[in-house]
Amino acid sequence: MVKRTSLKRAECPVARSLDAIGDWWSLLIVRDAFDGARRFGEFQNSLGISKGILTTRLRDLVAQGVLDTVPASDGSAYQDYVLTKKGQDLFPIVVGLRQWGEDHCFEPGEAHSVLVDNETAERVGRLEIRSRSGRAVGWADTTVRKAGTPSPVQRRSAPAKRSRRSASTAAGP
Amino acid sequence: MVKRTSLKRAECPVARSLDAIGDWWSLLIVRDAFDGARRFGEFQNSLGISKGILTTRLRDLVAQGVLDTVPASDGSAYQDYVLTKKGQDLFPIVVGLRQWGEDHCFEPGEAHSVLVDNETAERVGRLEIRSRSGRAVGWADTTVRKAGTPSPVQRRSAPAKRSRRSASTAAGP
């Protein structure tokens, strides 16, 4: 990633998350961990990437506290990689990527994997953003308030309207 | 991104999404568009990246149908970049990254921007994954079912337990 250091101290949590996660390969490693992978070889077989790249990404994910290493569950000399709480908390992001991909990255009728609820074997529902009171909100119903800014109620412009970029609520990186 | 072509035809919607979005910079461009940025210079000022990198990322996002170009809203010769429906649908992913970053990437008490509901000026609620019937589900309550696989009800292993990697439900990249 180019200029990653510029994101590490950002006041925007989106930028910090991206910096902490690393890159797409790292998130695919996390996806595989959600799906049960624990061994180096399991990740490698799934992702088809070089040992060098995988080694670096696993090391970075451990350094970030997303994965932890534990003695192999079968008692062998290998080590397993397991998701920490911080890693498990990435699940909504992976689900969000899945649902967006299902909506926008497949031809009609094209086969893809699905995420199902174990209790019912039905696909899980859509990720939704809600207000504290439970009302569904879209991006146009929300505003990013910069750190240290008091809380004016200000409507976000509709997509076709003029930028809010100059407003005090705009979030830098 | 290394070996991006290996993801383009993946049956996993997570991999396809990552391939379509591009890289972290692309997602930060989308974040800025949600926040009101429309002009090349606005994105550049926010992100602090080179013109060359930004030009490439914007072009790719337009090619992917995430952004569209429209005549500048002020009547000048410039063009504005606006989110398409496909781009707007990335909002839950950006919110997921924000909430994870808030939880895990800041020291206690460290300032960060917040996403507020315009109606109440309160922070929006947590992203939640729910079953079709509305029951909250975590990752351990779900299973990825491969394309073309019939629908056995199978519980996902708890984190400390043995991998499901060898099960038929494991999702490849």
**Residues A80-117: pLDDT tens digits?**
999 999 999 999 999 999 999 999 999 998 999 999 99
User: Given pLDDT bands bounded at 50, 70 and 90, which one contains residue A71?
Assistant: very high
Restricting to B residues 101-140, those with a Cβ less than 8 Å away from any Cβ of A are 101-106, 111-125, 127-135, 137-139
Question: Whole-angstrom Cα distance, residue B135 to residue B156?
Answer: 17
A172–chain B Cβ distance below 8 A for any pair:
yes
Question: Whole-angstrom Cα distance, residue A26 to residue A94?
Answer: 12
Nearest Cβ partner for B122 among A2, A48, A132 = A132
Contacts of B153 in chain A (CB under 8 A): 118-121
Asked whether the predicted pLDDT for residue B3 surpasses 50, the reply is: no
User: Given pLDDT bands bounded at 50, 70 and 90, which one contains residue A140?
Assistant: very high
Nearest Cβ partner for A127 among B38, B53, B129 = B129
Contacts of B156 in chain A (CB under 8 A): 36, 118
Please tell me the predicted confidence (pLDDT) of residue A149.
Answer: 72
Contact call for residues B99 and A91 (beta carbons, < 8 A): no
Strand partners, A117: B142
Asked whether the predicted pLDDT for residue B4 surpasses 80, the reply is: no
Please tell me the predicted confidence (pLDDT) of residue B149.
Answer: 72
**Residues B90-122: pLDDT tens digits?**
999 999 999 999 999 999 989 999 999 999 999
Domains of chain A in sequence order = 13-88 (1.10.10.10)
CA distance A118 to chain B (A): 5
What does pTM read for this prediction?
0.84
User: Given pLDDT bands bounded at 50, 70 and 90, which one contains residue B77?
Assistant: confident
CA distance A53 to chain B (A): 9
Quote helix, strand, coil % in chain B, to nearest 5. Answer: 40, 15, 50
Compare all CA atoms of chain A with the CA of B163 and give the residue at the minimum distance. A36
Please tell me the predicted confidence (pLDDT) of residue A11.
Answer: 86
* Average pLDDT value for residue range B134-147: 92
Chain A with chain B: Cβ pairs closer than 8 A: 366
The amino acid present at B107, given as its one-letter code, is: E
Asked whether the predicted pLDDT for residue A164 surpasses 90, the reply is: no
- Cβ separation A173–B94 shorter than 8 A: no
More confident residue, A99 or B11: A99
The helix/strand/coil state of B148 is coil
**Residues A28-51: pLDDT tens digits?**
999 999 999 999 999 999 999 899
The amino acid present at B87, given as its one-letter code, is: G
User: Given pLDDT bands bounded at 50, 70 and 90, which one contains residue B24?
Assistant: confident
ipTM of this complex: 0.84
* Average pLDDT value for residue range A37-66: 95
**Residues B145-173: pLDDT tens digits?**
988 776 554 445 444 433 443 333 333 34
Q: b vs e for A51-73, b when ≥16 Cβ sit within 10 Å of the residue's Cβ? A: eeebeebbebbeebebbbeeeee
Nearest Cβ partner for A138 among B91, B99, B101 = B91
Contacts of B125 in chain A (CB under 8 A): 129-132, 134
A17–chain B Cβ distance below 8 A for any pair:
yes
Q: Phi, psi (5° rounding) for residue B128?
A: -130, 145
User: Given pLDDT bands bounded at 50, 70 and 90, which one contains residue B30?
Assistant: very high
- Cβ separation B142–A12 shorter than 8 A: no
More confident residue, B86 or A146: B86
CA distance A55 to chain B (A): 14
Q: Among B98, B23, B62, which residue's Cα sits nearest to residue A143? A: B98
The amino acid present at A122, given as its one-letter code, is: E
* Average pLDDT value for residue range B76-92: 94
B9–chain A Cβ distance below 8 A for any pair:
no
Contact call for residues B14 and A47 (beta carbons, < 8 A): no
